[in-house]
Amino acid sequence: MYQADFNVTLGNDVYSQSLNYSPVAWKKAVRLAMRERDARLGKDRCMIDPSLSTSHLDPEEHVIPQGVGIKWIKLPKGATAKHTNNRASSWERCLLRYGLMGALRPFFVKSKKSAAFEIGDGKRIVFSNDHLRGFQIETHGIRRLQRHGQGPGQIRFRVPLHEGPTLDVSRALNKIVYLSMCVMNPAFAFSASLSDLRRYLSDDEPTYRPYGERFVAGAAPVAGIGIDLLGSKRASGRIEGDHGIAKVRLHHVEYFVPLFPDHHVVPGPRTGIRWFPHSAPATDVVADIAFQFDSIELNLPGG
> Is position 152 within any domain?
no
Percent of the residues in the chain that have a pLDDT greater than 70, as a whole number: 79
pLDDT of residue 303: 42
> Is position 276 within any domain?
yes
Q: What is the pLDDT of residues 51-71, one digit of tens each?
A: 999 988 889 999 988 887 778
126 vs 86, which has greater pLDDT? 86
Q: What is the pLDDT of residues 138-172, one digit of tens each?
A: 778 776 555 445 566 677 777 788 889 999 999 99
The total number of residues written for the chain in this structure? 303
pLDDT of residue 121: 76
Q: Which helix (H) or strand (E) holds 85?
A: helix 82-97
Confidence of residue 110 (pLDDT cuts 50, 70, 90): low
Domain count, the chain: 1
Q: Which residues pair with 137 in a beta bridge?
A: 127
Q: What's the rounded mean pLDDT across residues 225-245?
A: 68
Identify residue 198 by its one-letter amino acid code.
R
> Is position 56 within any domain?
yes
Cβ atoms of 92 and 65 within 8 Å: the answer is yes
pLDDT of residue 115: 74
167 vs 269, which has greater pLDDT? 167
Q: Is the pLDDT assigned to residue 197 strictly greater than 50? A: yes
Q: What's the rounded mean pLDDT across residues 248-256?
A: 89
pLDDT of residue 111: 62
- Phi, psi angle pair for 63, to nearest 5°: -65, -50
Predicted TM-score (pTM) of this structure: 0.84
> Is position 78 within any domain?
yes
> Is position 131 within any domain?
no
Q: Comparing C-alpha atoms, which of 256, 187, 185, 224 is closest to residue 17?
A: 185
Q: What's the CA gap between 198 and 125, in Å, rounded? A: 40
Q: What's the rounded mean pLDDT across residues 111-134?
A: 74
> Is position 79 within any domain?
yes
Give the torsion sign (CA, 41, 225, 104, 136): negative
Q: β-strand 223-233 against 2-10: which pairing, if any?
A: parallel
> Is position 51 within any domain?
yes
- At CA 301, angle to CA 101 and CA 97, rounded to 5? 15
Q: Which long-range contacts (CB under 8 A, 24 or more apart) does 83-86 make?
A: 83/49, 83/52, 84/46, 84/48, 84/49, 84/52, 84/201, 84/202, 85/58, 85/59, 85/61
pLDDT of residue 148: 46
pLDDT of residue 291: 72
- Phi, psi angle pair for 140, to nearest 5°: -130, 120
pLDDT of residue 31: 96
Buried b (16+ CB within 10 A) or exposed e, 129-165: beeeeeeeeebeeeeeeeeeeeeeeebebebebebbb
> Is position 272 within any domain?
yes
Least confident of 39-53, 109-123, 167-181, 258-272: 258-272
Q: What is the domain extent for residue 73?
A: 2-97+164-287
pLDDT of residue 61: 94
Least confident of 61-75, 185-199, 258-272: 258-272
pLDDT of residue 48: 96
Q: Please tell me the chain's helix, strand, coil percentages from 3-state DSSP, rounded to the nearest 5.
A: 30, 35, 40
Cα radius of gyration (the chain):
21
- With the CA atoms of 5, 6, 10 and 12 taken in that order, what torsion angle do they form, in degrees rounded to the nearest 10? -10
pLDDT of residue 297: 60
